[in-house]
Amino acid sequence: MPVPTQEFNVVSNYIPTTRGYIPLLKGDIFVQMESHQIYRYGYKKGTDSCGWIHSYCLDDYENDFTTEVTDFLKEFSLEIGTVEFLETISRREMLHFSQMKNKAQYIITKFCDLNRLDYVCRKRVMELDHKFALSIIEKGFFFPSNSNPSAIVMKRISNRLTNFQ
140 and 154, same domain (yes or no): yes
Based on the structure, what is the number of domains in the chain?
A: 2
39 and 95, same domain (yes or no): no
Give residue-wise pLDDT tens across range 120-131: 999 999 999 999
117 and 148, same domain (yes or no): yes
37 and 70, same domain (yes or no): no
Q: Which CATH number goes with the domain that contains 49?
A: 2.30.30.40
Domain end call among 45, 60, 75:
60
CA 160 to chain centre: 20
147 and 157, same domain (yes or no): yes
Torsion 5-88-12-49 (CA) sign: negative
pLDDT at 94: 78
92 and 159, same domain (yes or no): yes
pLDDT band, residue 3 (cuts 50/70/90): low
Domain boundaries, position 53: 1-60
96 and 147, same domain (yes or no): yes
For residue 39, is pLDDT > 70?
A: yes
Q: Are 83 and 38 in contact (CB under 8 A)?
A: yes
Give residue-wise pLDDT tens across range 49-61: 889 887 777 776 4
